[in-house]
Amino acid sequence: MPPYKVLTAGDTALVIEFGDAVDRTLSAWVLALARRLDDAHVAGVIETVPTFRSLMVYYDPIALPAAELIGRIEALMDGVEPTSATGRRWRLPVCYDGDLAPDLDDVAARTGLTRAAVIDRHADITYHVYMLGFLPGLAYLGDVTPELMLPRRDVPRIRIPAGSVGIGMAMTCIFPRESPCGLHLLGHSPVPLWRPQNGAGAGALLTPGDQVTFAPIPRHEHDEMAAAAAAGDLVVTPIEPAKDAA
């Protein structure tokens, strides 16, 4: 077990910090503790929120004093065993054509690769969902191949379309809604990552611990899927369900 610290975050949350790096091994510990806390149904715990290297635990201090919660967490840490790839596996379509990929030529030039090679490198990875954040349903997917690791753009865009697929440093993201963005945009996915709360399957499509690969698709297929998504008729399901944690 790696060393960990329990930190207070105001009077309604604790942070269990496992390290100071973005690393799949640390992420596995974070997710293992989140599963164990969720399965324990500790009275007074409201929500667990995994991040890159820590777990935030929201709680009701009236029902569960901080000292008692810390004791429960320490007891639950005894015997926690992280397992890899317990989440669902997804294959999400991405179109890398034309105006949907405004930074593809620049990324190719900066990396010394061809357009086709950039697409191949981006799509030929199984990405790990480290966490959700910044926007509802936005998943931070790592790790980008070292050949494509670039710093963020010097000048962020004020607005990008929902569904834009970008890279920056070791992460790639599909933006679930129109947003400012400092990433390099390589393509666009027609799959909504956030579904309204009043519909079937509402909420975020991806969850921390899921595994994601990208399937390059031609423009006509992208446009057909985007139209189906706009009409609420696009159904996307994982290619593998979640595995039981050991």
Whole-number pLDDT of residue 219: 97
The whole model's pTM is what? Answer: 0.90
pLDDT exceeds cutoff 50 at 62 = yes
Final residue in a domain of this structure, among 77, 111, 136: 77
Whole-number pLDDT of residue 221: 97
What's the chain's length in residues?
246
pLDDT band at 202 (very low <50, low <70, confident <90, very high): low
The tokens for 122 are 């981006």
Q: How many CB atoms lie within 10 A of CB 217?
A: 20
Q: Nearest 5°: phi and psi at 201?
A: 65, 35
10 and 97 fall within a common domain: no
Strands 127-132 and 139-142: antiparallel
17 and 133 fall within a common domain: no
The tokens for 55 are 């777990």
Per-residue pLDDT tens over the stretch 180-196? 999 999 999 999 998 76
Whole-number pLDDT of residue 246: 43
Residue 177 near residue 135 (C-beta atoms within 8 A): yes
168 and 98 fall within a common domain: yes
Per-residue pLDDT tens over the stretch 72-131? 999 998 878 887 667 899 999 999 999 999 999 999 999 999 999 999 999 999 999 999
107 and 141 fall within a common domain: yes
pLDDT exceeds cutoff 60 at 209 = yes
Residues 6+ apart with CB under 8 A from 164: 174, 175, 181, 185, 187, 188
CATH number for the domain that contains residue 141: 2.40.100.10
Residue 153 near residue 57 (C-beta atoms within 8 A): no
Lowest mean pLDDT among 20-29, 45-54, 217-226: 20-29
Residue 16 near residue 5 (C-beta atoms within 8 A): yes
Helix/strand/coil for 165: strand
DSSP 240: B
Give me the residue label for tokens 């207070």.
8
116 and 194 fall within a common domain: yes
Mean of pLDDT values over 168-183: 96
Residue ranges making up the domain that contains 51: 5-77
CATH number for the domain that contains residue 64: 3.30.1360.40
Give me the residue label for tokens 């179109």.
95
Whole-number pLDDT of residue 227: 97
Mean of pLDDT values over 124-140: 94
73 and 98 fall within a common domain: no
User: Is 14 a member of any domain?
Assistant: yes
Greater pLDDT, 204 or 80: 204
Mean of pLDDT values over 25-43: 93
126 and 194 fall within a common domain: yes
139 and 168 fall within a common domain: yes
Q: Tell me what percent of the chain is helix, strand and coil, each rounded to the nearest 5.
A: 25, 30, 45
CA distances (Å), 60 to each of 48, 51, 64, 66, in order? 13, 21, 6, 9
